[in-house]
């Protein structure tokens, strides 16, 4: 296990080189568990006749920290938990059913979405603690590389908190493409607002 984490660190340094901003000073390699009750994802989709909003739950996740800086991680979304926030019954339940159907996210066949963080650049904004995250998003069993900026409010060997706005192209993941009416009137971009909190549950892997 220690060898695996040291390998991750070598990959992390190879990507970010001298562009790492050390927020916290010396520390070690730690693994944080995402606090699913304190974290969430809000979504927004737009169409020619209006906008819909809602949430999707984070099922689980882990973050690997190097000296208090995010190095890599995995976040799992529960696609069956998608809710609609801007409608009331019965329209709310109807749209939630559509979103979980094979026309959209097909939660029965693809119950999870997964983000694997592969690299982090900590030089985006030193003063404001913005970081640029590179990752692979898997949705409907399709994997695409995405890049986004996160605003970090806490980053230590013990805790991490950040928010990010992520935009994905639904057509990249075959969402609402099989129905001509949906594909024509729903705009291609899905906007995600991610609020993430994580904390350490085990010992430091190494001390630097």
Residue range 2-203, CATH number: 2.40.128.110
Q: Are 12 and 66 in contact (CB under 8 A)?
A: yes
Closest CA to 187 of 42, 74, 44: 44
Question: What pTM did the predictor assign?
Answer: 0.84
**Domain extents for the chain?**
2-203
What residues have CB less than 8 Å from 188, skipping those under 6 apart? 169, 170, 171
The pLDDT of residue 94 is: 96
165 burial (CB, 10 Å; 0-12 / 13-18 / 19+) is: middle
pLDDT tens-digit profile, the chain (208 residues): 444 444 444 443 433 333 344 444 556 799 999 999 999 999 999 999 999 999 999 999 999 999 899 999 999 999 999 999 999 999 999 999 999 999 999 999 999 999 999 999 987 655 668 999 999 999 999 999 999 999 999 999 999 999 999 999 999 999 999 999 999 999 999 999 999 999 998 777 665 4
Place of tokens 């991610």: 194
Residue 160 main-chain phi, psi, to 5 deg: -145, 135
Q: What share of the chain is helix, strand, coil (3-state, %, to 5)?
A: 20, 55, 25
């Amino acid at each position: 296990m220690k060898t695996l984490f040291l390998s991750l660190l070598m990959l992390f340094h190879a990507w970010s080189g001298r562009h790492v901003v050390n927020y916290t000073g010396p520390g070690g390699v730690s693994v944080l568990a995402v606090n699913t009750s304190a974290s969430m994802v809000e979504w927004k989709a737009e169409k020619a006749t209006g906008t819909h909003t809602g949430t999707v739950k984070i099922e689980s996740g882990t973050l690997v920290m190097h000296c208090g800086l995010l190095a890599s991680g995995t976040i799992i979304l529960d696609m069956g938990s998608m809710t609609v926030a801007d409608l009331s019954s019965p329209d709310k339940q109807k749209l939630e059913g559509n979103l979980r159907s094979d026309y959209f996210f097909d939660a029965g066949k693809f119950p999870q979405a997964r983000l694997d963080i592969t690299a982090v650049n900590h030089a985006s904004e030193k003063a404001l603690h913005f970081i640029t995250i590179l990752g692979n998003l898997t949705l409907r069993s399709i994997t695409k590389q995405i890049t986004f900026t996160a605003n970090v409010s806490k980053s230590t060997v013990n805790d991490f908190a950040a928010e990010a706005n992520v935009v994905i192209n639904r057509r990249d993941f075959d969402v609402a493409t099989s129905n001509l009416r949906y594909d024509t009137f729903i705009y291609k971009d899905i906007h995600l607002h991610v609020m993430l909190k994580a904390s350490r549950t085990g010992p430091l892997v190494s001390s630097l």
